[in-house]
A = this chain, B = another copy of it.
Amino acid sequence: MNSTRALEVLKEHGYKHTKQREKLLTLLDQHDDIYVSVKQLWEEFSEDFPGASYDTVYRNLYTLADIGILETTSLDGEKQFRFHCDTSDHHHHFICTACGKTSAIHLCPVEDVALSLPGHQIDNHKFEVYGKCPACH
């Protein structure tokens, strides 16, 4: 997923193309596969839009997550955002706790778990691995 494609998806969902959204998507593009906090994005955003409402950044990030453009996680009680991976296969992420950089993990045990929990209805799951990426290690 990238900003160009994201703008199309926004349109498909009836959302308008605004300068603010374009800027926000550009920022997300720059962070590529790195999780970024609302606060950091708002700070970067404010360089181009002085006095920008925190709510604007916040609301748009949640909108983008809602329609599947972004994926989120929560680190230390703070939500983090990044573009949703393009790959169609189900996968998870290693997350570097130093820089936020992520690496895909292409194995998931949830199928096996389902077998070991008869009578349980499984709605979703979370599997994340934390540590230091090669660059930060």
Q: Are B125 and A116 in contact (CB under 8 A)?
A: no
CA distance in complex: A125, B109 (Å): 14
> Of B103, B113, B123, which contacts A117 at CB under 8 A?
B103
* A94: chain B residues within 8 A (beta carbon): 113, 117, 120, 122
A52 at the interface (CB under 8 A from B): no
CA distance in complex: A122, B94 (Å): 9
Which one of A7-15, A24-32, A36-44, A128-136 contacts B?
A: A128-136
Instruction: Looking at the assembled complex, report how far the CB atom of A113 sits from the nearest CB atom of chain B, in whole angstroms.
Output: 5
| Chain A to chain B contacts (Cβ below 8 Å), 27 pairs | A74-B74, A94-B117, A94-B122, A103-B117, A103-B120, A105-B113, A105-B116, A106-B116, A107-B109, A107-B112, A107-B113, A109-B109, A109-B127, A119-B133, A119-B134, A121-B131, A122-B130, A122-B131, A123-B130, A123-B131, A123-B132, A124-B129, A124-B131, A125-B127, A125-B129, A127-B127, A127-B128
Residue positions of A touching B, CB distance < 8 A: 74, 77, 94, 97, 103, 105-110, 112-113, 116-117, 119-134, 137
